Amino acid sequence: MPQIKIRGIDANEICKISKKLVDDLVDVVQAPRDYFEIECISSVAIRDGKVENAYPFIEVAWFDRGQEIQDIVAKIITDTIRENLGIQSLDLAFTVFEKEKYYENGQHF
């Protein structure tokens, strides 16, 4: 954990930045490298009856780490995508898990 879920950006493009992205996040988030999961979700946008590419949207699902760390993570992800993939406009949102409502192998944290 954290889980980084990406829509609207090709998985092959995300592969190009995945190592650098996690490298940059490990120290900030203070989580082991193998806790990070990047998931590319295929999606199709439909606008006015036409199929279009989905707008780039990134969701970070994690346990709360405070506003300062959240702001830094948002900047790292946004800057990495902009600088390396040439995507200038994207949205990013955080979903915060509550420890007593998150279970691993039937046990909550």
pLDDT in tens, 15-45: 999 999 999 999 999 999 999 999 999 999 9
Q: Is the pLDDT of residue 56 over 80?
A: yes
pLDDT at 42: 92
Average pLDDT of the segment spanning 73-77:
98
In this predicted model, what pLDDT tens digit does every residue of 84-94 receive, in sequence order?
999 999 999 99
What is the value of pTM for the model shown? Answer: 0.91
Contacts 24+ apart (CB under 8 A), 77-86: 77/4, 77/21, 77/25, 80/17, 80/20, 80/21, 80/24, 81/9, 81/17, 81/56, 84/16, 84/17, 84/20, 85/9, 85/13, 85/16, 85/17
Question: Per-domain residue ranges for the chain?
Answer: 3-108
> Has domain 3-108 been given CATH number 3.40.50.11310?
no
3-state DSSP call for residue 101? helix
Which structure tokens are listed for 51?
């199929």
pLDDT at 109: 81
